[in-house]
């Protein structure tokens, strides 16, 4: 009907008030006939009963010439008469249907005669087959498209034992309801024969099935009619079945009997399906069968009969049911492993017709194998290692020791690899990384399967560069977890990962002396440390000149104001080391000023070292003269300006990147989510963005006038201009905001910030330490904005704890959070504060900016919205039991209710009361020995945490109290430690940490490559070679089969190759298998091989026994080719074996 506003133009296009079956699939379809996208968030769809009105969710946009369908509650509409209206957020009527009635429970709906046809007349609507979220038809000048159904048979004349193929196609897919597709129904009728089949069109809208014309299946001589129906459309066919010449049929063909099983191998708990098939015409024939185990004991016996009138049935989710079959369950109690024999005898089961000559015997067998589990708590794997963006990722796994109802599954994108990333221009950090959380149900044997897509509906026209990259899958439960990884790339067949372990890059290849350089990178296979303050989980950058000499700091000892002064004359040097802390996906960045005191003209090398993995990389650059770059400073603007903005974007680095683009005159599309202006209100969870502009103090023109920021002023005049290194490093805008919360610290924990010991919650928008506290090596509690090198030996400056006050807790009020925002060449600066729940409370906060004596200040209002529905926040703490013995592991789990919680919780286990008389000075009595900060993880049922607390073997008996401390209160849970004679517990196995080294060798163009394996030694273990993986790539298109691998051992045994003497000559990927097991020198190896006719030829070699190493020290790889270019890559994994 009519609309209230010409600008809206949204129409109710289709209504289904009485779908087939349940009324839960009632729907309303809206149509946007305009040339622009229209936001319908908050609009209302109302039936006659207005209390059933449906409000369209936020963020719902209907694109130009597109449809959107909505469902609501059961019995949303009345069948016997209904009027449906559409209103906007102001209550204005947008569209209205006439009074419609649908009493037939079928797949017909009320629709506009064509999309958007509206003359304010009841004749605009008609009742016809539903078309949810698709066109009702359009008024076009071309000939109207007509639905078509075609069906064919392979022929019209057949004889027994031949096969009839029924095939065809449809012009479009039909639906019975909003989401249920229509079935293609095939009916076959003939002499004393009737059969129905049901199938669905494939993705190409085709269909096909077959009929085996055997007498045993009920077919008789005569004419047969075949009727194919799809919705209301039908197609009719027929064929004739004749007897073939009996003289041409041998006696052996007339009396054929076959028995088989659905698989060749089973494990206990599976069901064996026994099939039989015969063309014998024995009257009242039946199959007597017996099943004998490896001990020659008959465990199953019985009789099954063919049924000529039985019609094979396809059940949704249940596969096929056959007439001449039975099922055998393999017991799980005391199974007998080995080969089982099935003996079958087909004879007449009626004594009047039985004859010893009319008996057919046959047999078959199958194998019952032991259910072998991996020696890990949870196994997990994917069907492939590399996928295209639209591929289905199939995940399989198993909980090997503990059965639970389901496991938590999480898929995280850990890095990005754009289409340009097959080289040095790779961009690693995902702007909006993929993150999927779900739960998977376990089967009865602990196995599970899960399938998903990175992009649901991929299109060649879309840009999926942000989806290409590294992904990690984690399946976890309270008792452990399992992980695996995979990659998504543009072309999996030709992809070769040439990224380096640290991905070290520079923004330029040459720099002016005194300017700054930017070093960036991304650590491959990076896993963020579980504990905080891990100084080794960092990347250290050092520099060497062309002679290999390390670049050092230079301190003048004669300068008494210098901290390095120790009372002796001369100069001392300390290597320049810059430290970068990787983000959650391993990305890092360092900016360095090339100060003339430390650097000179020439070639330099930047060396990066990742402490934990021991991986190092280097890159060279050149330093040139800066004479031509000295430009006098001209002040033509305010010395310092500041503007407050807000954003709800997830990633701080993206906000900063957008702000930099705007500073260059570019408008990034993502800036639509950033709002700037006065009187902004902020909720916790928002990003407070501070941006502005200064007249930059160029490091090359700074003098000691600005040395008041640091007492370590050093000036050098050895080059073309004067400079001040320390002052240049202080060339930043200091932006601050008050820290509203207080922090509880004790000597039992190393504290850096609140509420987590390993995170800075004030955001990543700048650099610096904010207002955090830290504990130095002497136990002093130092404020973050104080110099860490300041001596703290005197009692007046000491804020730590001695043996007496170690038992106490202190509340420390944190100072303002301060961030250093370094301006760019044009003076633009920006930083971001993350307003985390639990850190900020309701109030008005002052935001300040300072830059070399210039000051600006404003205020912002922050509202704490972390509570859910106004309910009181609480924590439920759960234990698996109430009594434990010394040495047990107490599995503590908790759930946080009624609050959005992002911080860590402090969990403390208080021991039974111990008399302070028995406490020595400095000893902690009942406090601090078992206190831990635990990160809260968001699960499907809300935020929660877990901790496996190990009781000492000499733990005192009595009542223990678990205290969970949060910013909204403390919560307790108690348990008892009793004598072992009262409760017998099973101690949990101690976890072992395996160590691993991977050696990688890339881009080898030689045609003969030796691989030598030797054991590796670390500080505490010996690592043995466990896995060899390699790949061969050729760019010669069409000649892939002429460039191949041949891998042999030192004694000449060919393991992989195309020769007849090789153990593996073709792809090992077969149905149900991905590798082959071969024996070399009495040791079984799992060999995976891609085959030779591929552009990227890959292989892997690993011993079958999980505790065995590769026992062959020398391998030879030969590249069989002519003049084609090729590159060989391989890596060897060394692990610690028990």
Least reliable range by pLDDT among 413-427, 558-572, 810-824, 996-1010: 558-572
pLDDT in tens, 318-367: 344 556 888 899 888 889 999 999 999 998 888 777 777 788 899 999 99
CA count, 13 A, side-chain hemisphere, 144:
7
**149-246 and 874-977: identical CATH topology:** yes
More confident residue, 585 or 22: 22
* DSSP designation for 627: G
pLDDT range class, residue 742, cuts 50, 70, 90: very low
Return d(Cα 119, Cα 98) in angstroms, integer. 12
DSSP symbols for 678-723: SS-EEETTSEEEEEEEE----TTT--GGGGGG-S---EE-SSSS-E
More confident residue, 1112 or 754: 1112
* DSSP designation for 771: T
Model confidence at 429: pLDDT above 70 = no
pLDDT in tens, 764-808: 333 333 333 444 444 444 444 444 443 333 333 333 323 222 333
Model confidence at 443: pLDDT above 90 = no
Which residue carries 């096929």 as its tokens?
Answer: 320
Domain 505-625, CATH number (from 2.60.40.1930, 3.90.1150.10, 3.10.180.10, 1.10.10.10): 2.60.40.1930
Distance of CA 777 to the CA centre of its chain: 39
Q: Which residues contact 859 (CB under 8 A, 6 or more apart)?
A: 844, 845, 846, 847
Q: Judge contact between 84 and 46, C-beta under 8 A.
A: yes
Distance of CA 796 to the CA centre of its chain: 52
pLDDT range class, residue 982, cuts 50, 70, 90: low
Tell me, letter by letter, the H, E, C secondary structure of 1037-1067: CCCHHHCEEEEEECCCCEEECCCCCCCECCC
Share of the chain above pLDDT 70, in %: 75
**Fold classification of 149-246 (topology level):** Immunoglobulin-like (2.60.40)
Planar angle of CA 1007, 1011, 1013, nearest 5 degrees:
180
Q: Tell me the average pLDDT across 474-491.
A: 90
Which residue carries 């024995």 as its tokens?
Answer: 282
Residue 467 — φ and ψ, nearest 5°? -90, -20
pLDDT range class, residue 757, cuts 50, 70, 90: very low
Model confidence at 32: pLDDT above 70 = yes
- What is the model's pLDDT at position 867? 66
Model confidence at 921: pLDDT above 80 = no
Would you give the end-to-end CA distance of the chain in angstroms? 78
The secondary element (H helix, E strand) that includes residue 658 is helix 652-663
Task: Give the number of other Cβ atoms within 10 Å of residue 101's Cβ.
Answer: 14
Distance of CA 404 to the CA centre of its chain: 22
- What is the model's pLDDT at position 621? 92
- What is the model's pLDDT at position 344? 93
Least reliable range by pLDDT among 176-190, 503-517, 755-769, 964-978: 755-769
Domain 996-1135, CATH number (from 1.20.950, 2.60.120, 1.10.3910, 3.40.50): 2.60.120
Spell out the domain ranges in the chain: 11-129, 149-246, 250-368, 378-488, 505-625, 630-696+731-857, 874-977, 996-1135
Share of the chain above pLDDT 90, in %: 19
Q: Tell me the average pLDDT across 1071-1087.
A: 88
Q: What class, spelled out in words, does domain 378-488 have in CATH?
A: mainly beta
Q: Judge contact between 942 and 897, C-beta under 8 A.
A: yes
pLDDT range class, residue 312, cuts 50, 70, 90: very low
- What is the model's pLDDT at position 338? 93
- What is the model's pLDDT at position 101? 87
Model confidence at 407: pLDDT above 90 = yes
Least reliable range by pLDDT among 652-666, 823-837, 1081-1095: 652-666
Return d(Cα 48, Cα 254) in angstroms, integer. 71
**Fold classification of 11-129 (topology level):** Immunoglobulin-like (2.60.40)
pLDDT range class, residue 499, cuts 50, 70, 90: confident
Return d(Cα 270, Cα 351) in angstroms, integer. 37
| Closest listed residue to residue 923, CA positions, set 781, 811, 805 | 805
- What is the model's pLDDT at position 740? 58
pLDDT in tens, 267-296: 888 889 888 888 887 877 888 999 999 999
Q: Which residues contact 12 (CB under 8 A, 6 or more apart)?
A: 28, 29, 30, 31, 84, 86, 95, 96, 97
Q: Coil, strand or helix: which one is 432?
A: coil
Q: Tell me the average pLDDT across 73-77.
A: 83
Return d(Cα 733, Cα 712) in angstroms, integer. 19
pLDDT range class, residue 217, cuts 50, 70, 90: confident
* Six token digits for residue 569: 């004359």
pLDDT in tens, 714-728: 333 333 344 445 455
- Ranges 371-375, 570-574, 623-627, 763-767, most confident: 371-375
pLDDT in tens, 143-162: 456 888 899 988 889 998 88
Q: Which residues contact 853 (CB under 8 A, 6 or more apart)?
A: none
Return d(Cα 196, Cα 226) in angstroms, integer. 10
- What is the model's pLDDT at position 277? 85
Q: Judge contact between 539 and 579, C-beta under 8 A.
A: yes
Q: Judge contact between 165 and 154, C-beta under 8 A.
A: yes
* DSSP designation for 708: G
pLDDT in tens, 922-959: 444 444 456 788 888 777 677 888 888 898 888 888 88
- The DSSP bridge partners found for residue 408 are 439, 476
pLDDT range class, residue 660, cuts 50, 70, 90: low
Q: Judge contact between 563 and 541, C-beta under 8 A.
A: no
- What is the model's pLDDT at position 772? 38
- The CATH architecture that domain 874-977 belongs to is Sandwich (2.60)
Q: What b/e sequence results for 203-223 when a residue is b if at least 16 CB atoms lie within 10 Å of its CB, and e otherwise?
A: eeeebeeebebbbbbbbeeee
Model confidence at 873: pLDDT above 50 = yes
Q: What class, spelled out in words, does domain 250-368 have in CATH?
A: mainly beta
Return d(Cα 767, Cα 821) in angstroms, integer. 7
């Amino acid at each position: 009907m009519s609309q209230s506003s010409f600008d809206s133009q949204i129409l109710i296009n289709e209504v289904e008030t009485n779908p087939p079956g349940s009324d839960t699939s009632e729907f309303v379809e809206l149509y946007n006939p305009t040339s622009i996208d229209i936001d319908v968030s908050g609009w209302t769809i109302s039936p006659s009963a207005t209390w059933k009105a449906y409000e369209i969710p936020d963020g719902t946009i209907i694109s130009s010439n597109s449809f959107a369908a909505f469902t609501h509650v059961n019995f949303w509409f009345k069948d016997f008469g209904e009027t449906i209206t559409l209103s906007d957020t102001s209550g204005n009527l947008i569209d209205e249907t006439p009074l419609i009635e649908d009493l037939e429970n079928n797949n017909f709906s009320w629709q506009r005669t064509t999309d958007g046809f509206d003359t304010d007349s009841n004749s605009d609507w008609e009742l016809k087959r539903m078309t949810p979220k698709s066109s009702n038809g359009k008024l076009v000048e071309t000939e109207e498209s007509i639905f078509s159904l075609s069906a064919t048979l392979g022929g019209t004349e057949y004889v027994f034992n031949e096969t009839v193929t029924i095939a065809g196609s449809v012009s479009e897919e039909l639906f019975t309801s909003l989401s249920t597709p229509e079935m293609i129904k095939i009916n076959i009728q003939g002499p004393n024969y009737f059969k129905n089949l049901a199938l669905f069109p494939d993705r190409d809208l085709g269909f096909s099935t077959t009929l085996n014309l055997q007498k045993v299946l009920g077919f008789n001589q005569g004419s047969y009619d075949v009727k194919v129906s799809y919705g209301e459309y039908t197609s009719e066919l027929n064929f004739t079945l004749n007897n073939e010449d009996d003289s041409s049929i041998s006696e052996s063909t007339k009396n054929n009997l076959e028995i088989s099983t659905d698989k060749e191998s089973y494990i206990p708990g599976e069901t064996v399906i026994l099939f039989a098939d015969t063309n014998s015409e024995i009257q009242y024939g039946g199959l007597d069968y017996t099943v004998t185990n490896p001990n020659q004991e008959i465990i199953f016996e019985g009789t099954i009969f063919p049924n000529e009138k039985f019609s094979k049935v396809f059940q949704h989710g249940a596969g096929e049911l056959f007439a001449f079959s039975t099922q055998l369950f393999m017991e799980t109690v005391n199974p007998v492993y080995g080969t089982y024999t099935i003996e079958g005898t087909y004879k007449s089961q009626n004594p009047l017709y039985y004859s010893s000559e009319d008996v057919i015997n046959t047999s078959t067998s199958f194998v019952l194998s032991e259910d072998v589990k991996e020696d890990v708590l949870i196994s997990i794997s994917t069907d492939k290692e590399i996928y295209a963006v639209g591929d289905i990722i199939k995940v399989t796994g198993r909980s090997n020791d503990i059965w639970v109802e389901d496991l938590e599954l999480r898929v995280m994108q850990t890095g990005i690899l754009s289409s340009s990333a097959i080289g040095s221009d790779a961009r690693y950090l995902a702007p909006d990384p993929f993150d999927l959380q779900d739960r998977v149900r376990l089967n009865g044997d602990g196995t599970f399967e899960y399938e998903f897509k990175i992009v649901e509906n991929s299109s060649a026209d879309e840009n999926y560069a942000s989806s290409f990259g590294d992904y990690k899958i984690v399946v976890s439960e309270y008792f452990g977890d399992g992980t695996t990884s995979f990659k998504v790339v543009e072309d999996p067949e030709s992809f070769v990962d040439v990224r380096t372990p640290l991905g070290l890059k520079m923004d330029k290849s040459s720099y002016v002396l005194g300017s700054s350089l930017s070093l960036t990178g991304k650590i491959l296979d990076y896993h963020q440390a579980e504990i905080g303050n891990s100084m080794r989980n960092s990347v250290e950058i050092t520099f060497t000149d062309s002679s290999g000499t390390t670049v050092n700091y230079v301190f003048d000892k004669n300068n008494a104001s210098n901290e390095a002064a120790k009372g002796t004359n001369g100069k001392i040097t300390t290597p320049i080391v810059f430290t970068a802390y990787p983000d959650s996906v391993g990305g890092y960045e360092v900016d360095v000023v090339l100060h003339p005191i430390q650097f000179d003209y020439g070639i330099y090398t930047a060396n990066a070292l990742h402490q934990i993995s021991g991986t190092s990389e280097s890159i060279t650059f050149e330093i040139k003269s800066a004479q031509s770059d000295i430009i006098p400073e001209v002040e033509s603007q305010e010395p310092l300006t500041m503007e407050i903005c807000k954003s709800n974007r997830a990633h701080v680095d993206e906000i900063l990147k957008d702000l930099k683009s705007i500073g260059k005159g570019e408008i990034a599309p993502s800036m639509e989510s950033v709002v700037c202006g006065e009187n902004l209100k902020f909720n916790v969870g928002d990003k407070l963005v501070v941006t502005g502009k200064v007249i930059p103090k160029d490091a090359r023109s700074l003098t000691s006038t600005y040395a008041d920021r640091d007492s370590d002023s050093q000036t050098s005049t050895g080059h073309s201009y004067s400079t001040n290194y320390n002052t240049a490093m202080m060339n930043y805008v200091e932006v601050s905001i008050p820290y509203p919360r207080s922090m509880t610290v004790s000597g039992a924990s190393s504290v850096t910030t609140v509420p987590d010991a390993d995170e800075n919650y004030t955001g990543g928008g700048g650099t610096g330490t904010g207002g955090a506290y830290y504990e130095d090596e002497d136990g002093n509690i130092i404020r973050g904005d104080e110099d860490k090198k300041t001596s703290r030996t005197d009692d007046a400056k000491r804020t730590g704890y001695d043996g007496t006050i170690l038992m106490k807790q202190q509340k420390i009020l944190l100072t303002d959070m301060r961030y250093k925002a370094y301006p760019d060449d044009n003076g633009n600066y920006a930083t971001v504060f993350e307003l985390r729940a639990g850190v900020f409370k309701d109030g008005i906060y002052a935001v300040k900016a300072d830059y070399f004596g210039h000051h600006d200040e404003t205020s912002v209002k922050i509202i704490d919205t972390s509570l859910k529905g106004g309910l009181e926040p609480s924590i439920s703490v759960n234990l698996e039991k109430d009594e434990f013995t010394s040495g047990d592991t107490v599995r503590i789990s908790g759930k946080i209710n009624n609050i959005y919680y992002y911080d860590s919780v402090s969990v403390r286990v208080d021991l039974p009361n111990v008399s302070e008389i028995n406490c020595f000075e400095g000893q902690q009595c009942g406090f601090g020995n078992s206190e831990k900060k635990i990160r809260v993880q968001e699960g499907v049922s809300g935020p929660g945490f877990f901790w496996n607390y190990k009781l000492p073997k000499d733990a005192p008996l009595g009542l223990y109290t678990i205290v969970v401390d949060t910013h909204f209160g403390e919560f307790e849970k108690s348990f008892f430690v009793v004598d072992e004679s009262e409760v017998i517990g099973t101690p949990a196995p101690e976890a072992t940490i395996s160590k691993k080294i991977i050696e990688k060798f890339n881009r080898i163009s030689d045609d003969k490559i030796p691989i030598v394996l030797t054991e590796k030694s670390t500080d505490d273990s010996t690592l043995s070679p466990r896995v060899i993986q390699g790949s061969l790539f050729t760019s010669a298109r069409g000649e892939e089969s002429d460039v191949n691998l041949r891998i042999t051992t030192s004694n000449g045994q060919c393991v992989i190759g195309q020769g007849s003497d090789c153990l593996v000559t073709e792809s090992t990927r077969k149905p149900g298998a991905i590798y082959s097991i071969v024996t070399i020198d009495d040791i079984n190896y799992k060999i995976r091989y891609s085959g030779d006719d591929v552009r990227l030829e890959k292989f892997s070699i690993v011993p079958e026994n999980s505790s065995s190493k590769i026992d062959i020290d020398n391998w030879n790889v030969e590249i069989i080719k002519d003049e084609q270019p090729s590159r060989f890559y391989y890596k060897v994994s060394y692990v610690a074996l028990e």
